[in-house]
Amino acid sequence: MFNYGKRTYIMGILNVTPDSFSDGGNFFDVNSALEQAEQMVEAGADIIDIGGESTRPGANKVTATEELARITPVLKKLVANLKVPISVDTYKADVAKEVLNLGADIINDVRGLQGDSNLAKVVADYNVPVVIMHNARLYDKEGDIIDCVKAFLTESIKIAKEAGIKDENIILDPGIGFGISSKESMEIMNRLAELKELGYPILLGTSRKSMIGDILDLPAKERVNGTVATTVMGIMQGVDLVRVHDVKENLEAAKVTDAIYR
């Protein structure tokens, strides 16, 4: 599906939630969601990532039934109208199985296959790519933050391989902002290249996050330039995909950085 190393791939964020930190409620109905997805593809997005449950700190958890009620109508429209791969952001095996049956191409798991014990088998059965994210909310951090990230992801890779997920379908995400402080997020950003030692493509998700807000003292929607800076830094350290709200700005930065550093 992807030819890593040649260029950076852009994953456009489409939150069909009422409470996501940056754009909650903006694309909660099917028509506005489809319009936003089409605009991101026109701007150059290689993948659209649909999320039906907010992962911001303090957000209410939703059932698989509610998550599917939010995702399914939008997913059907996107599969019918877009030519790019569709990713679904979920950690629930039941949701993953249903959306893959409906035509989703990728599963993006913010719990790194360590939330729902059945999810890895679903991904393996459907032979699709999976984004495995480090999530420090799931364990007690101790010691060097990069060592923590590596240990968590190593365990996730073990789970994936034992379930039968192929190496070429594994993508790793360091989990910027998930249970880690802005200082720790900056440390990870400064040492992203070390994660390449694990041997898999890296997806970076920093878009509009609190690390950028803390540095710039700006609200979420005004963190575009800060996000672009992290995109450039990520590519310089070997990142293969970036997950962003603002496709055009990050794509332009990625193209320039790719031309110089790849």
| Annotated active-site residue in 92, 111, 150, 209 | 209
For residue 48, give the 3-state DSSP assignment: strand
For this structure, is 83 an active site residue? no
Residue 171 burial (CB count, 10 A): 23
Q: Are strands 203-204 and 9-15 parallel, antiparallel or unpaired?
A: unpaired
Strands (E), the chain: 9-15, 47-51, 86-89, 106-109, 130-133, 170-173, 203-204, 241-244
In the residue annotation, 223 being an active-site residue is answered as: no
CB within 8 Å of 18: residues ≥ 6 apart: 24, 25, 28
Q: Catalytic residue among 137, 243, 248, 255, which?
A: 243
Residues contacting 101, CB < 8 A, separation 6+: none
Closest by Cα among 129, 198, 196, 195 to 165: 129
Q: Could you give phi then psi for residue 102, rounded to 5 degrees?
A: -85, -5
Cα 219 to Cα 135: distance, rounded to the nearest angstrom? 24
CA distance 14 to 17: 9
Question: CA–CA separation, 222 vs 249, rounded Å?
Answer: 13
- How many angstroms separate the Cα of 260 from the Cα of each of 55, 233, 256? 35, 13, 6
Identity of the residue numbered 8: T
Could you give the residue numbers annotated as active site?
Answer: 209, 243
